[in-house]
Structure 1
Amino acid sequence: MLPCRLPESPESQCRSRILDLVFIIDSSRSIRPSDFEKVKTFLGLMVDTLAVGPDATRVAVVNYASTVKIEFLLKDHFNKPDMKKAISRIEPLAAGTMTGLAIKTAVNEAFTEQSGARPPSSNIAKVAIIVTDGRPQDHVGDISAAARAEGIEIYAIGVDRADMASLKQMASLPLEDHVFYVETYGVIEKLTSTFQETLCGLDPCSTGNDCEHTCVNSNASFYCKCSSGYILNADQKTCSLKQVKVEMVVDPCKCEARRAFQKQAQAAMQQLTAEFADVAGRIERLEEALGRV
C-alpha cells in the first residue's frame, strides 16, 4: 500500500479508510509507567484521526507482556469518547515480551466476526499496529506470516531498544511503508500525522471516473450505477434504457366466440352450397325433359 499525501486545503480528498483496526501494545516491565501513558496518548490521538462507527472504522486493543489481555473488542465501542475512556483505563501487565503470542491472540480472537470484524465479502481492510520497545521472547516470524496470509496488514512501531530485525519479520511489505522507529516514547505522538497519511484513502469518484450516470465509492475503489429505468452496459460505465417487452393479452372469451362464429358460418355455407347444388340439379333435369318434347 502506498501512502497518500494529505492536501492542506479543507477540500482534502484524503479521508480515513474504513478499517477493522487492532492495536497490539507492549506493556512489559521495560516500559516505565510514564512512557506507557504516552502510548495511551498516542492511541487516543490515533482514534481522533479515524472515522469511528459501526459502519466506519472499528477499533480493538490487545495488551501484552508475558500474558495477553484483550482490553476491548471491535464490537465494544462505536464512538470516540467511549473508546478513549476505555484506552485511559488500560494498565500495564509488567513482565515479559510475548509478541508472537499477542499477534496470535489478535488473529484468533480480536479479528473474528464474533468479536466484531466484518466478513471478507465486505472488503473491509484488517490492520494491526504493533507498538514495542524490546525483543520478542517468542517466535514472531511464522506467526506474523500466518496473520498476513489471513489478509491482515501489519505495521510495526519500534521504540528505543526495539529489535529492528523482529520489526521487519512482523511487518507487511513494503517494509519502508510498514516499519517505523522512534527513539523515545516522548516523540511517539509525532507518528500520528504519519499514520493519518498512511491510513488515508482517496475518494475515487472525486478524482475522476468514466461513469455515465452515478459513481459510487466502494472502500478504495468505485463502481458505476445507472438511474432508474436504465441498465449498466457490459463496459460497466455507460447506461442504456431498459427494453420494455410488450405482450399482447388476448381475451380467451373473444377467441372462443370467434371460433364458434366461424364454425356456424362454415356450416351455413355448406348447407347453402348443398341446397344450391340440389336446385341446380333440378333445373338441369327440367331442361333435359323439355328438350325431349
Structure 2
Amino acid sequence: MSTSVNQSEYEKVKSLVLTTISNISIGPTATNVAFMVFSGRAEVVFHLNTYIENKTSVMEAIGSQAHTGGSTFLGDAIKLATSDVFTETNGDRPDAENVVLLFTDGESSADEDVRSSIDELKSKAEVFVVTVTAEVDNSTVDFVASSPSLNHVFRIDAPETANIVRNVTTSETCATIPPVANTAD
C-alpha cells in the first residue's frame, strides 16, 4: 500500500476483495483470479492459473498481504498486467472476458508510464476503478478506467460499490484483481 493509503483504507480494500472472492465461483471454466500489488514496485502475487480450483488459497494469499507503504507504481502495474497477467501461459483464456478491478487513489510515481500503457490494457480488459481515499487524483482515475468513467469508477465507501463489484465479477468474465495498489499499494 502506498503511503497515500492508510491502514484503515487498506483493510477496507482487503475486506471488499475477500467478500467478492467469497461470492464467486473459481474454476477452469468459471472465474479465474490474479492478484497484483504496486507499492514499492509492481509485482504479480499470483497469476490467473495459480489457484485455478482453490478459492481458499486465493483468499489466504490475498488475506496475507500486508500494508507496506512506499511509492506507487501504477504505470508499471498496468504494463505488468498487460505483458504478464493477460497471457495464455499465465491462465488468460481467449474465450473469457477480462475484468480488472483496480483499487487506487490515482496517485502514481510516474504519470507518463500510466498514460503510455493504459490503452493496451484496455484492449485486453474492461477496467473498473475503486477509489480508496478521500483525496483522489480524478484525472488519472478517469483516464485509467474504461469508458464511460461514470460506469467504471466507484468509491470504496459508497453503499452500491459492493453490489457493483459482485455483479462485475459474477458475470461470465475472467476477473483479475490487480493492483491492490494505492489501496493495496
Asked if these proteins are the same fold (TM beyond 0.5), I'd say: yes
CA deviation digits over 1:32-54, x for unaligned, max 9?
A: 22332221111101112212112
Higher relative contact order (CA 8 A, sep 6+): 2
Q: 1:92 to 1:189 in 2, by over 3 A?
A: farther
Deviation at 1:98, TM superposition (A): 1.4
CA contact (8 A) 1:62 1:72 kept: yes
Contact 2:18 2:59 in 1 (8 A): yes
TM-score with structure 1 length normalisation? 0.53
Give the alignment partner of residue 132 of structure 1, picking from 90, 104, 108.
104
State the match for 2:28 in structure 1: 54
Conservation of the 8 A alpha-carbon contact between 2:82 and 2:120: no
Matching residue within 141, 150, 161 for 1:191: 161
Structure 1 residue aligned with 2:129: 156
Contact 1:39–1:188 (CA<8 Å) still a contact in 2?
Answer: no
Structure 2 residue corresponding to 1:39, chosen from 13, 27, 36? 13
Q: CA deviation at 1:172?
A: 0.9
Partner of 1:80: 55
Contact 2:21 2:59 in 1 (8 A): yes
1:219-246 residue CA offsets vs partner (Å, 9 max, x unmatched):
59xxxxxxxxxxxxxxxxxxxxxxxxxx
SS state at 2:34 partner: strand
Question: Which of 92, 105, 120 in structure 2 is aligned with 1:117?
Answer: 92
1:100 to 72, 75, 97: 75
| CA distance in structure 2 between the partners assigned to 1:200 and 1:47 by the alignment | 10
Per the TM alignment, residue 99 of structure 1 is displaced from its structure 2 partner at its CA by 0.7
Gap change, CA 1:69 and 1:113, over 3 Å in 2: same
| Alpha carbons 1:58, 1:75 under 8 Å: kept | yes
Letter of the structure 1 residue corresponding to residue 23 of structure 2: T
Distance 1:81 1:55, change over 3 A: same
Between the aligned partners of 1:36 and 1:90, the Cα distance in structure 2 is 10
Segments of structure 2 that go 5 or more residues without pairing to the other structure are: 174-185
Asked if the contact 1:73–1:110 (Cα under 8 Å) also holds between the matched residues in 2, the reply is yes
* Match in the other structure for 1:227: none
Aligned to 2:4: 30
Aligned residues: 169
Match of 2:65 among 58, 68, 90: 90
Amino acid at match of 2:166: Q
8 Å CA contact 1:168–1:175 kept in 2: the answer is yes
The gaps in structure 1 that reach 5 residues or longer are 1-26, 202-218, 221-293
Q: How far is 1:190 from its partner? A: 5.4
Could you state the TM-score of these two structures normalised by the residue count of structure 2? Answer: 0.82
Aligned equivalent of 1:144: 118
Which amino acid in the other structure matches residue 129 of structure 1? L
124 and 134 in structure 1: CA distance in 2 versus 1, 3 angstrom threshold? closer
Q: Which amino acid aligns with 1:126?
A: N
How large is the Cα RMSD of the aligned pairs?
2.0
**SS of the residue aligned with 1:95?**
coil
